[in-house]
Amino acid sequence: MKESKLTPKILVAVLCIGVLAYLAVYIFQAWRTDLVTTTAYSYTERVGLESRGVVVREESVLPGGSGYLDLILAEGEKAAAGDAVALFYSDPSALNIRQSIRSLQSEIGQLQYALSAGASGTADAAALDDQIVDALVELRSLSAAGDLSALDGAVLSLRTSVFRRTLLFEDGAAGDLSRLIADKQSQLADLTRSMGQVSQTVYAPFSGVFSGETDGWESAVTPDMLDDLTAEQLAALLDGQRSGDPSAAGKLITGSTWYFAALLPGGSPGLAEGRRYLVSFSDGWYGEVTMTLERLAVGEDRTLAVFSARSQLADTTLLRVQTVDVILDEIQGIRIPRRALGVDTVAEDVTDGDGNVTGSKEVNHYYVYTLVSSQAEKQEVEVVYTADTYYLVRPVDENARDRLRPGDELILTTAGLFDGKVVR
């Protein structure tokens, strides 16, 4: 009896169908699983305390007068004893006279520059061209940022540079400059005399940093009071309402040291007297100041902290009651999304001082997967900071060749991954 050839053919067909089915399932699973990755990067997390407090300075209010106030010095500008800091006008028309005086002073300065430039022509023209371009760029930046505080100065700078540039190449202008300057100076003298009849000048009685604003805090709390101030007293001061003297001509800030008295939550905020901290301001002025903690007084449910600084006084003249961040620590690491972190829990032996095993405990080992070429690579890390949506981690072995580095591509779809798996 002849052996049938149908059976081997059926077995081969079944085997081929099985192989094709396996490949189809493998390809389908690979296609169905979307590989989601992101980039790990270096990050510094600032850990601090939010606190509310008051800026304290040695200040003297300048008595003013009645009428219309015109400040001569800019906010935060230094004043020497005897310097004119402000004008009070009894007649509103004096404001126009004051503006005319400023314009004449500017024009005289422009003309005197052109006269002194003489025939130095080419070099000065090149420098003025650069100044005009810089002034235009500054105007554009101020306009885009919506910053009008420095707009007048920028316009004046541009106008001055253009005027000087024109005079350098105007035929016959040099011979008329002296006469034109004398005429402008005569006009200025007349306006100054008329201004003296309708204005009252306020002079600085001593040197200091000028501020055109008063807020009523000048005598409410002073540097001399900080040694005995309590947290409860500061809280009462912060809850009070104050207003500046509307008739004042501003104030002078003396001394190079200024203070920030702050209320911190809790009875032990973890600060140390004599240590320097970074204090971040964000209300009315955005900036950071390195300050020394001079005094720490623990109250019933909050703590008084007095910080001092000797820098950026001119930048902070308008600050008073502030909510700041006191930076206690800066933690550096590699930032990763929370879903990128995996954990292996293993049992490890517990030994005594002689090396004898006395028991076991469960220990968590954290890891991430990175994409290297087309494979998943498992890398062990330690968590140094936990936030709501991310972790800061560091490699367990900082010297390992295959450790996690900033810029590595993290795999976020960790289901079914293992070290060395081909994922792309």
Is 245 part of any domain? yes
Count: domains in the chain: 3
Do 144 and 171 belong together in one domain?
Answer: yes
**Full domain range(s) for residue 373:** 37-43+335-411
6-46 pLDDT, tens digit per residue, is 677 677 777 788 778 777 766 655 554 578 899 999 999 99
- Reported as a pLDDT band with limits 50, 70 and 90, residue 301 is confident
63-110 pLDDT, tens digit per residue, is 987 778 888 899 999 999 999 998 888 777 777 777 788 788 877 877
User: In the prediction, which pLDDT does 149 show?
Assistant: 60
Q: How far is CA 198 from the centre of its chain?
A: 45
Closest CA to 350 of 337, 339, 359: 359
Other beta carbons less than 10 A from residue 205's beta carbon:
14
Do 193 and 112 belong together in one domain?
Answer: yes
Do 303 and 340 belong together in one domain?
Answer: no
Q: Which of 121-125, 143-147, 166-170, 416-420 has the lowest mean pLDDT?
A: 121-125
User: In the prediction, which pLDDT does 166 show?
Assistant: 65
- Reported as a pLDDT band with limits 50, 70 and 90, residue 1 is very low
Give the strand order in the sheet containing 199-203: 68-71, 84-89, 199-203
**Separation of alpha carbons 237 and 231, rounded Å:** 10
Do 99 and 183 belong together in one domain?
Answer: yes
Do 138 and 235 belong together in one domain?
Answer: no
Do 263 and 191 belong together in one domain?
Answer: no
Do 273 and 357 belong together in one domain?
Answer: no
Q: Which of 54-58, 115-119, 164-168, 306-310 has the lowest mean pLDDT?
A: 115-119
**Which of 306, 331, 356 is the C-terminal boundary of a domain?**
331
Q: Is the pLDDT of residue 193 over 90?
A: no
The DSSP line for 113-147 is: HHHHHTT-HHHHHHHHHHHHHHHHHHHHHHHHHT-
Is 118 part of any domain? yes
Do 264 and 325 belong together in one domain?
Answer: yes
Do 344 and 322 belong together in one domain?
Answer: no
CATH of the domain at 235: 2.40.30.170
H helix intervals, 146-172: 151-168
pTM of the model: 0.67
Closest CA to 129 of 175, 170, 164: 164
Do 341 and 388 belong together in one domain?
Answer: yes
248-277 pLDDT, tens digit per residue, is 999 999 989 999 999 998 776 678 999 999
Closest CA to 71 of 92, 57, 87, 51: 87
- Reported as a pLDDT band with limits 50, 70 and 90, residue 148 is low
Is 378 part of any domain? yes
Partners of 43 in the β-ladder = 333
330-339 pLDDT, tens digit per residue, is 999 999 999 9
Is 208 part of any domain? no
**How many alpha carbons fall within 13 Å on the CB side of residue 160?**
21
User: In the prediction, which pLDDT does 134 show?
Assistant: 85
Is 265 part of any domain? yes
Is 93 part of any domain? yes
* Terminal Cα distance for the chain, rounded: 55
Q: Is the pLDDT of residue 152 over 70?
A: no
